[in-house]
Structure 1
Amino acid sequence: MNALTISLDPIFELTDEKLWQLCQQNRDLRFERSARGELTIMAPEGGNTGMYSSDLNGHLWLWNQRQKLGFTFGSSTGFILPNGAMRSPDASWIAKERWSALTPEQQAKFPPICPDFAIELMSPSDSLSATQAKMQEYRDNGTKLGWLINRKDRQVEIYRIGQPIEILQAPTTLSGEDVLPEFVLSLDLIWQS
């Protein structure tokens, strides 16, 4: 199923609280909200994408358990970005001091914070241009390092603040650079057919 995007404005203002309630009432669906207030409705991940996404999250979680520098989040976590969008990266990480600066109430719902690191793993039904726009949005809102993993074309786009996008063709590993010190992700499973 492709994502469906609908505009509710000016009919209905989808506040952060109303969006939270909508998501709680429809747990079988995934929602994101654009900075313009458009609501995107997405089906749950398919088996292969879910497996690869879980693998990415597992590697990130293991690294974080060793380093203890912050907190990792899966694809069902929604973040309210500074531009007002609510996005849910497939995998993400936030530095401990930034996460700890949020109140318990902010941490409990859709945290008003942009991840320091974000991964988007494209599903077969995802639009490349829409996913690239989402990665740009993460970077524009403060994500220091982002990876767009495109299995179909065997490419990785690397997004860094203040730098041009770097495109790698079928890399075997990716480095967390100075954002995730000593984190190296093997892409062997990702590139398997």
Structure 2
Amino acid sequence: MILPLNPTLRRDERLSDDEFFAFCQANPSLRIERDETGQIIFEMPTGITTSITNSALNGELYLWNRQYKLGFVTDSNGGFTLPDNSVRAPDVAWISRERWASVPDADKDKFAHICPDFVIELMSDTDEKYTLPAKMEKYLQNGVRLGWQIDPFSQQTTVYRPEKAPQVIPFDETLSGEDVLPNFSLRLSDLANN
């Protein structure tokens, strides 16, 4: 069943957290986010090549996390309610055990009110090249400690850190998890050859 938006809902009204969660649950085939103003954003499905790359990225982070057991990895289906009240679902995210422990159990099965420590957004052919940098900056403003915006078209990654200018790193150089993801590193050119 598809749950329609209330036809009498005014543009300046916003769905409550529970209403937005119910709307998303009733429309599982759609990828839906909400910005900080309450505007609902429908994301297009990606092509298979993007999905393969996204799965590989998620797998690399999962394997690191399985070894070090420092937190939890989510895929693009995991929605986070950020401090600015937006609901975002990064392509890949990681949450430290400390942050996750602060989330009430009742909130963990919904769009938990928590900001991940680390996010990856993978640019796809359906993404607007100019919207992802603003999205990455919003992540930082909400508490993300490290973010990677990966652009397979230009073969470069833009690294976002709080209170620092974004840094562009080519695919043939090694990305570091820095102090957020200790001992995690990844060279995207190696990933692309698998």
TM-score (norm 1): 0.91
Find the counterpart in structure 1 of residue 107 from structure 2.
Answer: 106
* 8 Å CA contact 1:8, 1:14 repeated in 2: no
CA–CA separation in structure 2 for the residues paired with 1:14 and 1:102: 22
The aligned counterpart of 1:19 is 20
**Structure having the higher Rg:** 2
Report the Cα distance in structure 1 between the residues aligned to 2:156 and 2:27, rounded to whole angstroms.
33
Distance in 2 (alpha carbons) for counterparts of 1:189 and 1:40: 33
- Structure 1: how far apart are the matches of 2:141 and 2:94? 17
> Do residues 181 (structure 1) and 187 (structure 2) align?
no
Q: Which residue of the partner structure matches residue 5 of structure 2?
A: none
For 1:54 and 1:28, locate their aligned partners in 2 and report how far apart those are by CA, in whole Å: 18
Q: What's the CA shift for 1:43?
A: 2.5
Distance in 2 separating the partners of 1:92 and 1:118: 4
1:119 aligns with 2:120: yes
Pairing 1:49-128 to 2, within 5 Å after superposition: 49-128=50-129
Find the residue that maps to 2:95 and give its secondary structure: strand
SS at match of 2:131: helix
Report the CA distance shift for 1:140/1:185 in structure 2 as closer, same or farther (over 3 A).
Answer: same
Name the SS of the counterpart of 2:120 in structure 1.
Answer: strand
SS of the residue 1:129 aligns to: coil
Please state whether the residue corresponding to 1:105 is helix, strand or coil: helix
The two structures, once aligned, show a CA RMSD in angstroms of 1.5
Give SS of 1:66's match.
helix
Structure-2 separation of matches of 1:20 and 1:128 = 28
Q: Do 1:174 and 1:185's aligned partners in 2 also have CA atoms closer than 8 Å?
A: yes
Aligned to 2:160: 159
The match for 1:168 is 169
The answer to which of 144-153 and 38-47 deviates more is: 38-47
2: CA distance, partners of 1:8 / 1:97: 39
Shift of 1:8: 6.0
Contact 2:171/2:189 (8 A) holds in 1: no
**Is the contact made by 1:176 and 1:183 (CA closer than 8 Å) also made in structure 2?**
yes
Change (3 A) 1:136 1:8: farther
Deviation (angstroms), 1:190: 5.3
In 1, are the aligned partners of 2:136 and 2:147 still within 8 Å (CA)? yes
Match of 1:30 in 2: 31
Query: CA–CA distance in 1 between the matches of 2:140 and 2:10?
Result: 26
Kindly provide the amino acid, as one letter, of the partner of residue 9 in structure 1: R
Distance apart, 1:148 and its partner CA: 0.1
Task: Tell me the number of residue pairs that the alignment of Structure 1 and Structure 2 aligns.
Answer: 185
CA separation in 2, counterparts of 1:106 and 1:142? 19
Q: Is the contact between residue 75 and residue 91 of structure 2 (CA under 8 Å) also seen in structure 1?
A: yes
Partner of 2:6: none
CA contact (8 A) 1:145 1:179 kept: yes
User: How many angstroms apart in 2 are the aligned matches of 1:49 and 1:36?
Assistant: 29
Q: Residue 151 of structure 1 contacts residue 190 of structure 1 at CA under 8 Å; is this kept in 2? A: no
Runs of 4+ in 1 over 6 A off after TM superposition: none
Cα contact 1:9–1:37 (8 A) shared by 2: no
Q: Which runs of 5+ in 1 are unaligned?
A: 1-6
Where structure 2 has 5 or more consecutive residues not aligned to the other structure, the ranges are 1-8
